[in-house]
């Protein structure tokens, strides 16, 4: 079972998560989500446990428990939702408004 762990202290490590959840059963993976640009923790992560009953026990025991002065949030992870893309593919593009310094195009085709 995949478990969401939120409100983590920024100093938390994946090894600490493994140890904390390992008290309740086998931890197959533990990861803390980090900012792509800075590498700093985003304050949440995921733990995967092989046995669902052990995972449920860990969720009940660890939800709202203290970790380095913060009450962590622990629950079953929901599947990642796919974002719906708009017709233009969410890639931006022209959004209207000021078109910059292009001048009046009407004078280009005058027959002088």
pTM of the model: 0.71
Tell me: the pLDDT tens digits for 36-45?
Answer: 999 999 999 9
Burial class (CB in 10 A: 0-12, 13-18, 19+), 55: buried
Average pLDDT over residues 6-33: 97
The CATH architecture to which 2-76 belongs is 2-Layer Sandwich (3.30)
Tell me: the pLDDT tens digits for 74-88?
Answer: 999 998 887 666 555
- C-alpha span between 30 and 5 (Å, rounded): 10
Beta strands at 66-67 and 70-71: parallel, antiparallel or unpaired: antiparallel
Instruction: Provide the strand spans (E) within the chain.
Output: 2-6, 27-34, 41-49, 66-67, 70-71, 73-76
């Amino acid at each position: 079972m995949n478990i969401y762990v939120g409100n983590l202290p920024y100093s938390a490590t994946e090894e600490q998560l493994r140890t904390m959840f390992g008290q309740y059963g086998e931890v197959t993976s533990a990861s803390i989500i980090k900012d792509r640009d800075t590498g700093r923790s985003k304050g949440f992560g995921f733990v995967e446990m092989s046995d669902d009953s052990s995972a449920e026990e860990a969720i009940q025991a660890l939800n709202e428990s203290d970790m380095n002065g913060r009450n962590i949030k622990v629950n079953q992870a929901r599947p990642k939702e796919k974002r719906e893309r708009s017709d233009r593919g969410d890639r931006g593009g022209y959004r209207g408004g000021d078109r910059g310094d292009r001048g009046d195009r009407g004078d280009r085709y005058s027959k002088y």
